[in-house]
């Protein structure tokens, strides 16, 4: 088992990662009867894309001896209705350290091969931009 999710009422869940004990909560978003006091479940999906892309880039950066520490990804999730679902995820990466053009291309390609990227439904548009110093 990977995790345990408990419904706490009032549209809130508590999610526990069983190996580490780390946890987070989710709340329904304002536009879907919620308080938006935490990530919504769909926020976690959109955020997982950027996190996964960073992880794969980090693995590749380590092997290239390239420093991407301190890089930031800004994530925007766009919802649609009928059915209510994620229509688009926008990820804007900003890298604070110089990286050669060759290594930039390698890292960008690595990012687009992350498991979450391939696990998302093909109808979800993924707009990814890389800003290099």
Q: How much is the pLDDT for 18?
A: 98
Helix or strand run (H / E) with residue 94: strand 85-94
Q: How much is the pLDDT for 38?
A: 96
Q: How much is the pLDDT for 109?
A: 98
Q: How much is the pLDDT for 3?
A: 98
Q: How much is the pLDDT for 1?
A: 94
Sequence spans of domains, the chain: 1-39, 40-131
The phi, psi pair for 77, rounded to 5°, reads: -105, 130
- CATH code of domain 40-131: 3.30.300.20
Query: CA torsion sign, 62 to 65 to 71 to 74?
Result: negative
Q: How much is the pLDDT for 32?
A: 92
Distance (Å, rounded) from C-alpha 101 to C-alpha 106? 9
Distance (Å, rounded) from C-alpha 11 to C-alpha 131? 37
Structure tokens at 127: 């707009």
Give the number of residues written for the chain: 133
- Ordered per-residue pLDDT tens for the chain, 133 residues: 999 999 999 999 999 999 999 999 999 999 999 999 999 999 999 999 999 999 999 999 999 999 999 999 999 999 999 999 999 999 999 999 999 999 999 999 999 999 999 999 999 999 999 999 9
Closest by alpha carbon to 92, among 39, 65, 53, 58?
Answer: 53
């Amino acid at each position: 088992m990977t995790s345990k999710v408990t419904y706490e009422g009032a549209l809130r869940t508590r999610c526990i990662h069983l190996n580490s004990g780390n946890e987070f909560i989710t709340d329904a978003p304002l536009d879907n009867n919620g308080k938006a006091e935490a990530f919504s479940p769909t926020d976690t999906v959109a955020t997982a894309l950027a996190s996964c892309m960073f992880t794969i880039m980090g693995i590749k950066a380590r092997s290239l001896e390239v420093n991407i520490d301190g890089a930031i990804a800004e994530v925007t999730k766009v919802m649609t209705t009928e059915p209510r679902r994620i229509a688009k995820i926008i990820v804007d990466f900003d890298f604070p350290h110089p990286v050669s053009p060759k290594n930039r291309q390698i890292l960008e390609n690595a990012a687009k091969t992350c498991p979450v990227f391939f696990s998302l439904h093909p109808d979800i548009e993924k707009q990814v931009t890389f800003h290099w110093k």
